[in-house]
Structure 1
Amino acid sequence: MSEDHDGHIPTPDYSHLDSTDFERVYEPSEDTFILLDALQSERHHLATQRPLICVEIGSGSGLVLAFLARLLSKQEQLVCIATDINECAAQATRKTLERNRVVGDVIVTDLLTSLSTRLSALVDVLLFNPPYVVTECVPGSRGLESAWAGGERGRHVMDRVLPEVDRLLSPGGVFYLVVIEENDPDEISSLLETRGLTVKRILSRRAGRERLVVLKASKLRDFYHNYLTN
Structure 2
Amino acid sequence: MLPTPSTSHVCFDRVYEPAEDSFLLLDTLSTSSEIAFLHNRFAQANSKQSTPPLILEVGVGSGVVLAFVAGNTSRIFGRNDILTLGTDINRFACQAASETVRKAIKDHDPSLFLDVVNADLASTIRANSVDVFIFNPPYVPAELPDLSRHDSFNVLSVGQKSTSFEQDSYLLELSYAGGEDGMAVTNRMLEQLPYILNPERGVAYLLLCAQNKPEEVKQRIRDWGTGWVAETVGVSGKKAGWEKLHIVRIWRNSMA
| Residue 98, structure 1, aligned to residue 102, structure 2 | yes
Alignment partner for residue 119 of structure 2, among 91, 103, 109?
Answer: 109
CA distance in 1, matches of 2:84, 2:237: 30
Change (3 A) 1:136 1:105: closer
What is the distance in 1 between the residues matched to 2:114 and 2:189? 22
Q: Please report the TM-score for the alignment, with normalisation by the length of structure 2.
A: 0.77
Paired with 1:207 and 1:69, the residues of 2 have a C-alpha distance of 30
Partners in 2 of 1:169 and 1:159 — Cα distance?
16
The amino acid across from 2:73 in the alignment is L
Between structure 1 and structure 2, the one with the greater Rg is 2
Q: Which runs of 5+ in 2 are unaligned?
A: 43-51, 155-170
| Higher-strand-fraction structure | 1
RMSD, aligned CA: 1.8
Query: Are 1:202 and 2:206 matched, yes or no?
Result: no
Identify the match of residue 44 of structure 1 among 24, 36, 48: 36
Match of 1:16 among 9, 31, 38: 9
Please identify runs of 4+ aligned residues in structure 1 that moved more than 6 A: none
Choose which of 169, 176, 193 in structure 1 pairs with 2:205.
176
- Measure, in 2, the Cα distance between the counterparts of 1:97 and 1:136: 31
Aligned counterparts of 1:71 and 1:44: Cα–Cα separation in 2 = 14
1:35 counterpart SS class? helix
C-alpha contact (below 8 Å) 2:70/2:104 kept by paired residues: no
Aligned partners of 1:192 and 1:185: how far apart in 2?
Answer: 11
Q: Secondary structure at the match of 2:98?
A: helix
CA distance in 1, matches of 2:180, 2:145: 8
- The alignment-based identity, stated in percent, is 36
* Number of residue-to-residue matches in the alignment: 210
CA distance in 2, matches of 1:45, 1:202: 11
